A and B are shown apart, each in its own frame.
Chain A
């Protein structure tokens, strides 16, 4: 009981700490937002406003993927080293990862809104599509896809942060193959929602994405204490 309480308290503290860190070091948040919007603008310039649904989907997820990397990839080396050492001594590992996951979920939600918003502002819907067949499913898919990528990225960034040399590059190398299944599911879902495919064909994608996200989050929670104690 006391253990559970300690874990929950750690989770709350870490989430609050991350939140404060985010605002105090405002440049990080701004950097991610700038990265996302600038990438969307590059996509807009490169595509010349005549983008078909396939290319539109590809660009949306490329921007989403790399913005996610920028935002979550260094989640575990943001604190100053004395804060880190303090956490290492006092925090319950499970609480720590829960707090980080919570923060990552918030960040991804904001990021999804920024990326989708910028996409609609600059590019609009793909050519030939006045309004997508299932806009709600498209937004849900973008959010769920982002979340299932994020939980994996949290794990990868936790592993990579333990490596002393060049953990940013390592997170990218380890993370990309792990994110392929989520990306495949997400892009299919987005294309299906744009083309207004029937629900019976599309329903499995959000389910798989949710299951993948929850599954990777669970494994990350189980394995994290071993990384943290090392």
Chain B
């Protein structure tokens, strides 16, 4: 009975992660507008090319008349003519009237299948006209539509394809929190009972958690390079993450420095309790009260800013369970190793 359950959750974690890898890398990204060229508009009739990334928003045979592009400044809508459609771009023509003052324009692309694509500050009008309010052009826009696409991940500006990292980076930190929490409980129990077994549990938890913490740092660094442009930035969340990893490295250094001193269990437990309290303060309290680039922080406890849609949820939750179970499996292995070593040494 017990063997069967073991097989189930250990194999299950691997299967879940295989599903996450395959689904996570093969699901296409919903299309999103990234640029308008030229982005500087003058007061004259002209043509602009809007390009998109992600899966195609149009099929090769589609008629330009099925698409609509509206440029917006404040409350004013500027109508354009779609002249040419390819899978990843549309060409529009528009006539900027001389009464239009200098303005930044947002672009909305209405597609039959892929919903409404948006690009903020797509182009800028350079004009000599004075005045605060742009003239009304009397254009009306179709109402925005949800995409009618298959299984696909939502487009986010700047994040783009790297949204797949959500399935690695976030669950790895969750797994670290989970296993460090287990270590914290074990250390509390060690302080209460002074037993070697609880100490071995705490040590195994910290070692496993440290692996996942380092993986979380590595995946986070990759993501920062892509979205923020640097491998590392000074940010409360990132500072907290680095300090956490250093703290738990300190736990291992403390153990190593103690050698086979028989007070190692108690002292390590004391340090571990302190470290976990600091972890909670550093990663869950401080970043929430100071401004942070990191999503989910800055007074916002969840990560709704990711717009977890149903497709993403269908992969994200298995990823959380899969990484958590894998982490727990690694922890049990380390613990059994510790127990065997202890048993052999004390024989």
Chain A positions within 8 Å of B, measured between CB atoms, are 155, 159, 162-166, 170, 173-174, 176-178, 180-181, 184, 204, 208, 212, 215, 219-220, 223, 226-227, 229-230
Cα A213 to Cα B267 with chains together (Å): 22
Chain B positions within 8 Å of A, measured between CB atoms, are 191, 239-240, 242-243, 246-247, 249-250, 253-254, 257-259, 261, 263, 266-267, 269-271, 273-274, 277-278, 281-282, 286, 289-290
Cα A109 to Cα B290 with chains together (Å): 28
Please, which residues of chain B bring their CB within 8 A of the CB of A212? 281
A57 to chain B, nearest CB (A): 14
Contact between chains at B290 and A178 (CB < 8 Å): no
Question: Which of these, B253, B271, B286, contacts A181 with CB under 8 Å?
Answer: B286
Contact between chains at A163 and B257 (CB < 8 Å): yes
B257 to chain A, nearest CB (A): 5
Contact between chains at B270 and A223 (CB < 8 Å): yes
Contact between chains at A204 and B254 (CB < 8 Å): no
Contact between chains at A170 and B254 (CB < 8 Å): yes
Interface of B is mostly: helix
Please, which residues of chain B bring their CB within 8 A of the CB of A177? 243, 246-247, 249-250
A-B contact pairs, 24 of them (CB 8 A): A159-B254, A159-B270, A163-B254, A163-B258, A165-B259, A170-B253, A170-B254, A170-B257, A173-B250, A174-B250, A177-B243, A178-B247, A181-B239, A181-B240, A181-B281, A181-B282, A181-B286, A204-B289, A220-B274, A223-B273, A226-B266, A227-B266, A227-B267, A229-B266
Q: Known A219-B274, A219-B277; judge A180-B267 contact (CB<8 A).
A: no
Cα A3 to Cα B240 with chains together (Å): 39
Please, which residues of chain A bring their CB within 8 A of the CB of B290? 204
Q: Known A180-B243, A204-B290; judge A165-B257 contact (CB<8 A).
A: yes
Please, which residues of chain B bring their CB within 8 A of the CB of A180? 239, 242-243, 246
A96 to chain B, nearest CB (A): 15
Cα A100 to Cα B286 with chains together (Å): 28
Contact between chains at A226 and B191 (CB < 8 Å): yes
Please, which residues of chain A bring their CB within 8 A of the CB of B271? 159, 174
Contact between chains at A208 and B253 (CB < 8 Å): no
B116 to chain A, nearest CB (A): 38
Nearest A residue to B266 via CB reads: A230
Contact between chains at B267 and A162 (CB < 8 Å): yes
Contact between chains at B289 and A159 (CB < 8 Å): no
A150 to chain B, nearest CB (A): 15
B240 to chain A, nearest CB (A): 7
Contact between chains at A230 and B243 (CB < 8 Å): no
Cα A75 to Cα B286 with chains together (Å): 29
Q: A219-B273, A220-B274 are in contact. List 8 more A-B contacts (CB 8 A).
A: A162-B263, A180-B239, A181-B243, A208-B286, A215-B277, A219-B274, A223-B273, A227-B267
Please, which residues of chain B bring their CB within 8 A of the CB of A220? 274
B238 to chain A, nearest CB (A): 11
Cα A140 to Cα B307 with chains together (Å): 43
A164 to chain B, nearest CB (A): 7
A188 to chain B, nearest CB (A): 9
Contact between chains at B281 and A215 (CB < 8 Å): yes
Contact between chains at A184 and B239 (CB < 8 Å): yes
Cα A203 to Cα B102 with chains together (Å): 40
Please, which residues of chain A bring their CB within 8 A of the CB of B191? 226
Cα A165 to Cα B253 with chains together (Å): 13
Cα A170 to Cα B273 with chains together (Å): 18
Q: Known A174-B250, A212-B281; judge A226-B243 contact (CB<8 A).
A: no
Please, which residues of chain A bring their CB within 8 A of the CB of B270? 159, 223, 226-227
B67 to chain A, nearest CB (A): 47
Contact between chains at B243 and A174 (CB < 8 Å): no
Cα A227 to Cα B190 with chains together (Å): 13
B7 to chain A, nearest CB (A): 40
Nearest B residue to A164 via CB reads: B261
A168 to chain B, nearest CB (A): 12
Please, which residues of chain B bring their CB within 8 A of the CB of A173? 250, 253
Nearest A residue to B239 via CB reads: A184
Please, which residues of chain A bring their CB within 8 A of the CB of B239? 180-181, 184
